[in-house]
């Protein structure tokens, strides 16, 4: 389990940028560390109500995170092409990390093993990683309720604390 105070496990996954179906590049966490705090917002799946609400909420607040030199990334087990369509369809601009192999979800210990009784996905969760690569905040939704609890203000405060 990745906890507060732990070094964030490194990973490399596809990055969906949202500018067209094939806007896919590579993202490596260790390459992004040092530029400021990083927020990883794990969601169970694209095109679902709670996940769309969460990513749209983060998207509408993206400027306030950027003002803190923080980067926000959504993470789901969807393929990056589907993530791009979702981003375009719903109009949010939070870059999405595609954990289609489920390795990141398992490494960060946020597996939702029985989403809708059919697939392994990520539990709704948020990690803040400081510029040194240390996890300074960990929140994981307990239970099976897929609804998003709007807590962006709390995450922003944790990002401020991670900057110190």
Q: Rg for the chain (alpha carbons), in Å?
A: 14
pLDDT at 115: 58
DSSP letter assigned to residue 26: E
Structure tokens at 1: 């389990």
φ, ψ dihedrals at 160, nearest 5°: -60, -45
Task: Single out the catalytic residue among 40, 51, 55, 129.
Answer: 51
Distances (CA, A) of 162 to 101, 104, 159: 29, 22, 5
Verify whether residue 51 is a known catalytic residue: yes
Helix (H, G, I), strand (E, B) or coil at 52: helix
Helix and strand numbers (H, E) in the chain are: 6, 9
Contact 21, 85 (CB under 8 A): yes
pLDDT at 143: 60
pTM of the model: 0.92
DSSP letter assigned to residue 134: B
pLDDT per residue rounded down to tens, the chain (164 residues):
899 999 999 999 999 999 888 999 999 999 999 989 999 999 998 998 888 999 999 999 999 999 999 999 999 999 999 999 999 999 999 999 999 999 999 999 999 876 555 678 888 999 999 999 999 999 998 765 555 565 888 999 999 999 87
Cβ-based neighbours of 121, under 8 Å, separated by 6 or more: 44, 45, 76, 77, 105, 111, 112, 115
Domains and CATH numbers, the chain: 12-162 (3.40.30.10)
Contact 22, 84 (CB under 8 A): yes
CB atoms inside a 10 Å sphere around CB 66: 12
């Amino acid at each position: 389990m990745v906890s507060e105070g732990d070094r964030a496990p490194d990973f490399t996954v596809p990055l969906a940028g949202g500018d067209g179906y094939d806007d896919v590049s590579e993202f490596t966490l260790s390459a992004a560390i040092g530029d400021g705090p990083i927020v990883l917002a794990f969601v169970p799946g694209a095109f679902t109500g709670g996940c769309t609400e969460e990513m749209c909420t983060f998207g509408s607040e993206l400027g306030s995170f950027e003002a803190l030199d923080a980067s926000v990334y959504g993470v789901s087990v969807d393929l990056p092409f589907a993530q791009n369509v979702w981003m375009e369809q719903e109009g949010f601009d939070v870059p999405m990390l595609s954990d289609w192999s489920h390795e990141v979800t398992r490494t960060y210990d946020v597996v939702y093993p029985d989403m809708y009784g059919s697939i392994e996905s990520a539990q709704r969760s948020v990690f803040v990683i400081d510029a040194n690569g240390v996890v300074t905040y960990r929140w994981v939704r307990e239970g099976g309720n897929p609804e998003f609890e709007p807590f962006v203000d709390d995450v922003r405060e944790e990002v401020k604390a991670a900057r110190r």
